[in-house]
Amino acid sequence: MGSLKILTLSLSILFIVSCGAPEPPPKKTVFDPLTQNLDRAREVQKTVDANADATRKAVDTQERGDTAP
């Protein structure tokens, strides 16, 4: 009876320990080149949007007849 208690306790502790520590995600995946391209495209879009805003502000300023900033 004593060995059954020890076995049950040992198995439950091993189960808890093995489930408690998740593995970190892998460093490289198959999708890394695709996600890098998407990140680059987002950065380019931010630059394009910033330039469009600056141009729009400059045109609005010229239309109102204000001096250039």
Per-residue pLDDT 10s for the chain (69 aa) are 678 888 888 888 888 877 766 777 778 888 899 999 999 999 999 999 999 999 999 999 998 887 655
**Domain boundaries in the chain?**
29-69
SS3 7: helix
- What do you get for the CA distance between the two ends of the chain, in Å? 88
pLDDT score for 69: 54
Q: Dump the DSSP string for 30-44.
A: TTHHHHHHHHHHHHH
pLDDT score for 68: 56
Q: Which amino acid type is present at position 56? A: R
pLDDT score for 48: 97
Sign of CA dihedral 50, 52, 57, 61: positive
